[in-house]
Structure 1
Amino acid sequence: MIKSTLRLLALATVLGVGSVAAHAENPMVGGAAMYENKNIVENAVNSKDHTTLVAAVKAAGLVETLQGPGPFTVFAPTNEAFDALPAGTVETLLKPENKDQLTKILTCHVVAADAMSPAIGKMIADDGGTHAVKTVGGCVLQAKMDGDKLTLTDETGGVATVTIADVKQSNGVIHVIDKVLLPKM
């Protein structure tokens, strides 16, 4: 119990949870301020680090959904995360004939809840170090702590690290991640 509590406190410290500074200003993502009164799409379109994600959301026809009331938790891969996929993958996924596959991948980054990092950390601690996270796309991600970093393991064994947590939105929260999460196909 003490070990779990210490890990949760470490997570809170690293992610800036509870600090006055973390909530005093709008967090910056991709060089743009993220505003709590804007929805996920309205904020994401301003992040220069998420242009590929925004293009993919548009190609998959998910804009209206992610502008909806939610709540949603979006694990948002950066452009660099998409660039790390095998050459030609993004271009292929953006083609209209691959919309179903693209939608499956994107919805495996979305949870139908407003899951801030303290809640995720508590679930990880309560579950003995790993918490299964069911996404709207039907994928199951494994949330864990790797030292003081929150990680998500996808169904193919790929591991993404949360690099910016708790970016509040009017319809949920964004956690920026450094890898594209993939479903078992």
Structure 2
Amino acid sequence: MRFPLVIVAAALTGTATPALANHHEAASLVETAIASPDHETLVAAVQAADLVDALSGEGPLTVFAPTDAAFGALPDGTVETLLMPANKEQLQAVLTYHVVPGKVTSADLLKLIEDNGGTASVTTLQGGMLTASLDGGSVILTDAAGGTATVTAADLEASNGIIHVTDAVSLPG
């Protein structure tokens, strides 16, 4: 089983990928995302959803963090609509669908996938399920709507959990 080079490099060296180049071990999940030039939309969404405190708490939490490009790939107007105050609950549901209680490393996820015959379901804070599988050595997350996201960087440590960067926004259905 192989992970793409970027995942192996991040996991083995403990260094961040360019997406989270300013990452520091003492930084919380939110502080780590704020320091990333590729997660401005995620940070704005977390702030609009009033989830900063929840994601800055003790943890541990695992965050599957979509990049700005992932949010940009959503249908036109989706992000703007979600960021409206009237849609705060829907935004919270989408964001908490990207968070899993506990610290789930790439090694943990691989073991779950292997132990469960090639797929593993994880329960999100939103209450829904994400299904993880492997495709060509990459971890693929399938959401309740059938959409897929590839983990492009893994095991980025924060003081209250771990971040895995994804190339798509997962939707709770």
- TM bin, normalised by shorter chain, reads over 0.9
Give the corresponding residue for 2:7: 15
Q: Which has the larger radius of gyration?
A: 1
> Pairwise mapping of residues 164-183 of structure 1 onto structure 2 (< 5 A)?
164-183=153-172
Shift of 1:72: 0.5
Percent of residue pairs bearing the same amino acid type: 50
Matched, 1:49 2:38: yes
From 108, 114, 122, the equivalent of 1:133 is 122
Superposed CA RMSD in Å reads 1.8
Shift of 1:32: 2.9
Cα gap change, 1:75 to 1:19, in 2 (>3 Å):
closer
TM-score by length of 1: 0.88
Q: Which runs of 4+ in 1 moved over 3 A?
A: 11-14, 17-20
From 21, 24, 27, the equivalent of 2:16 is 27
The code of the aligned residue for 1:129 comes to G
Q: Secondary structure at the match of 1:156?
A: coil
Cα gap change, 1:153 to 1:31, in 2 (>3 Å):
closer
Gaps of 5+ in 1: 1-6
What is the aligned length? 173
Give the corresponding residue for 2:95: 106
Cα gap change, 1:19 to 1:83, in 2 (>3 Å):
closer
TM-score by length of 2: 0.94
Partners of 1:157 and 1:18 in 2: CA distance? 28
Shift of 1:146: 0.5
Shift of 1:166: 0.5
Gaps of 5+ in 2: none
Give the corresponding residue for 1:69: 58
